[in-house]
A and B are shown apart, each in its own frame.
Chain A
Amino acid sequence: MKMSRKTKAIIYILLTVIAVYFLAPFVYMFFTTFKTEAEAIAYPPKLLPSKWLFENFVNAWKSQPFGTYLKNSILVTVLTTTGQILSCSLVAYGFAKFEFKGKNILFMILLSTMMIPWDVTMIPQYMEFNMFGWINTLKPLIIPAWFGSAYYIFLMRQFLMGVPKDFEEAARIDGANSFQIYWKIYMPILKPSLILVGVLNMISVWNDYLGPLIFLQERSKYTLALGLAAFKGVHSTRIIPMLCITVIMIIPPIIAFIVAQKYIVEGTSGSIK
């Protein structure tokens, strides 16, 4: 389609203005992390620091056991992602490639669980985990992920539905069983979907605040999101360390998104069909 120069100019102007709106807070925050505390709350504010205090990051990191929080966050993120990838792909394979009694009803139930607000299940879940002795451990954040998640199962099933059955028939003739077919044939084909689910889960678990808030009590168990929120609660006037940790915390999800962007865009289009 042809576009007049004027239309093109208008589109670029709009795109740029909106991009500035989305990026400005990040850029301004980034520069502010190098300022002194007085400079950060000076009015009128200045964009660039008068002196670049790189040690701000080191001081902020040392002011709380952020190293421990980071370790916990990484542990939870890695273990939940592994769990989701394995369990969701198993379940999605079961729903996509087999005929069995009750399949449609079970799949409907699976989809409808996405509508249940977390507020309804959080209280009994707290009691349940308390009974298991899991409160103040990372288990409530990790173990449920090993039993799949409705949305991720749905995404993977959609993907598998588009894969013709020809692939597995040859293997069946060679005597492979269903589990071998799942592991050796469908898992490699599923790769884009596995990356999509993996990255979506990594981002949401890394960012999660309410789960850790309810299930963790001691600081030694905190995740980075909870640790940062707790820091804000106590030291809300210490803007510089707060922004330093914020910068550190938002880098991993942004990198994960940019790296896996292609899969996220394609995966989103697969889910709406």
Chain B
Amino acid sequence: MKIMKRKKFIRKATPYFFISPWIIGFLVFTIGPLILSLIMSFFDWPLTTEPVFRGFGNYIEMFTKDAQFWKSLRISLKYAAIFVPLNMGIALFLAMLITQPVRGVKVFRTIFYIPAVISGVAVSIIWGWILNGDYGALNYLLSLIGIEGPRWLVDPAWALFAVILASAFGVGTMMLIFYTNIKSIPITVYEAASLDGASPARQFFSITLPIITPTILFNLITSIIGSFQQVTLVMLLTGGGPLKSTYFYGLYTYNNAFKHHKLGYASANAWVMFIIILILTALVFKSSSTWVFYEAEAKKENKKRRGGKK
């Protein structure tokens, strides 16, 4: 009897044993800090002295008294609004190129992806050097075709664009996700369309694009989240300047915490970012029912329709 019970217990406990590393990690490194962060956001929490409760004080200060909060929020939104569609457009274009049935195309796939595997530190050094206004290679190349390049990193009007240029260097990650999706579309679908006289453009808009809409949704959400968290590149490429024109929201939060040691205030900053991300994601998801096409659902619909006709 006892042995049976023990065996039953072991059988029931086994799956929890296997997932226990994640559960412990989740409690200690994710949910614990998450709750602590929420609590801290209601405190004045300096690094060295005792924390003082101030209710919604941090949030009220942020929204009503801190002009930099609104400025940084606007900069990050602007960056996301330009970078996300641009990056996705380029990624999709490159993915279409490297799925063409021509010889040696895999070599290009490798080359396009390489910039995506190098560190943000390296990217910032490389682009800081290429974009330099005095001896930078980019302005030299522009001068060859008669354009006088701007002082990218020193001119507040151009610095944000310089950051976008440098971040788009890592377009390979997204390209690869589109690429594997497009590759998985059976070639027979295109052959049939081709026989029916559909042009390549028509094939792209009527076959490829609808099939990859779930991937577009995935990429859209991950890149919105990613662009709000962009810190490394601005920290090292522009340092938030010139004149705070690239003082991204992530950098603002980081500096409030680790430069000005306002841990409570920075926690409130981070929670506002989290809520904005959640709202944006929810909006994208909500809109997705009108433009994302799921194969499994379509099949079900077809079955229903066919069943109805009988």
Nearest chain B residue, comparing its CB with the CB of A23: B111
Task: Give the distance to chain A from B153, nearest Cβ to Cβ, in Å.
Answer: 11
Q: Which of A45, A127, A147, A150 contacts B263 (CB 8 A)?
A: A127
- The reply to whether B33 and A12 contact each other, CB–CB distance below 8 Å, is no
List of A residues within 8 angstroms of B101 by Cβ: 1, 3
- The reply to whether B126 and A120 contact each other, CB–CB distance below 8 Å, is no
Nearest chain B residue, comparing its CB with the CB of A91: B22
Which one of A15, A26, A41 has the greatest number of beta carbons of chain B within 10 Å? A15
Task: Give the distance to chain B from A127, nearest Cβ to Cβ, in Å.
Answer: 7
- The reply to whether A124 and B33 contact each other, CB–CB distance below 8 Å, is yes
- The reply to whether A123 and B180 contact each other, CB–CB distance below 8 Å, is no
The distance in angstroms between the C-alpha atoms of A124 and B270, with both chains bound, is 11
List of A residues within 8 angstroms of B266 by Cβ: 123
Within 16-41 of B, Cβ neighbours of A (below 8 Å) are at 16-19, 21-26, 28-30, 32-34, 36-37, 40
Decide if A121 is an interface residue (CB 8 Å cutoff).
yes
Task: Give the distance to chain B from A62, nearest Cβ to Cβ, in Å.
Answer: 19
Decide if A162 is an interface residue (CB 8 Å cutoff).
no
Decide if B122 is an interface residue (CB 8 Å cutoff).
yes
- The reply to whether A113 and B30 contact each other, CB–CB distance below 8 Å, is yes
Task: Give the distance to chain A from B12, nearest Cβ to Cβ, in Å.
Answer: 7
- The reply to whether B15 and A225 contact each other, CB–CB distance below 8 Å, is no
Which one of B12, B113, B117 has the greatest number of beta carbons of chain A within 10 Å? B117
Task: Give the distance to chain B from A107, nearest Cβ to Cβ, in Å.
Answer: 9
The distance in angstroms between the C-alpha atoms of A11 and B105, with both chains bound, is 10
B121-135: CB near A (< 8 Å → 1, else 0) gives 110111111100011
- The reply to whether B114 and A117 contact each other, CB–CB distance below 8 Å, is no
Decide if B303 is an interface residue (CB 8 Å cutoff).
no
Decide if B241 is an interface residue (CB 8 Å cutoff).
no
Task: Give the distance to chain B from A37, nearest Cβ to Cβ, in Å.
Answer: 11
Q: From DSSP, what is the main secondary structure of chain A's interface residues? A: helix
A26-58: CB near B (< 8 Å → 1, else 0) gives 101100000000001111110000000000000
- The reply to whether B277 and A98 contact each other, CB–CB distance below 8 Å, is no
Nearest chain A residue, comparing its CB with the CB of B221: A115
Task: Give the distance to chain A from B173, nearest Cβ to Cβ, in Å.
Answer: 9
Decide if B257 is an interface residue (CB 8 Å cutoff).
yes
Nearest chain A residue, comparing its CB with the CB of B184: A269
Task: Give the distance to chain A from B181, nearest Cβ to Cβ, in Å.
Answer: 6
Q: Count how many pairs of residues, one from A and one from B, have CB atoms less than 8 Å apart in the complex.
A: 246
- The reply to whether B118 and A100 contact each other, CB–CB distance below 8 Å, is no
List of B residues within 8 angstroms of A95 by Cβ: 19
The distance in angstroms between the C-alpha atoms of A119 and B272, with both chains bound, is 11
Interface size class of A (residues with CB under 8 A): 35 or more
Decide: A14 near B253, CB < 8 A? Known: A45-B140, A120-B270, A246-B125.
no
Decide if B177 is an interface residue (CB 8 Å cutoff).
yes
Decide if B302 is an interface residue (CB 8 Å cutoff).
no
Q: Which residues of A contact B (CB under 8 A)?
A: 1, 3, 8, 11-12, 14-15, 18-19, 22-23, 25-26, 28-29, 40-45, 87, 90-91, 93-95, 98-100, 103, 106, 109-110, 113, 115-128, 144, 146-148, 150, 153, 178, 182, 203, 206-210, 214, 225, 228-229, 232, 239, 242-243, 246, 249-250, 253-254, 256-258, 261, 264-266, 268-269, 272
A/B interface sample: 5 pairs, CB < 8 A: A100-B16, A123-B40, A144-B25, A209-B119, A268-B179
Q: Which residues of B contact A (CB under 8 A)?
A: 12, 14-19, 21-26, 28-30, 32-34, 36-37, 40, 94, 97-98, 100-102, 105, 108-115, 117-122, 124-130, 134-135, 137, 140, 169, 176-177, 179-181, 183-184, 187, 190-191, 194, 214-215, 218, 225, 228-229, 231-232, 236, 250, 253-254, 257-258, 263, 266-267, 269-271, 273-274, 277-278, 281
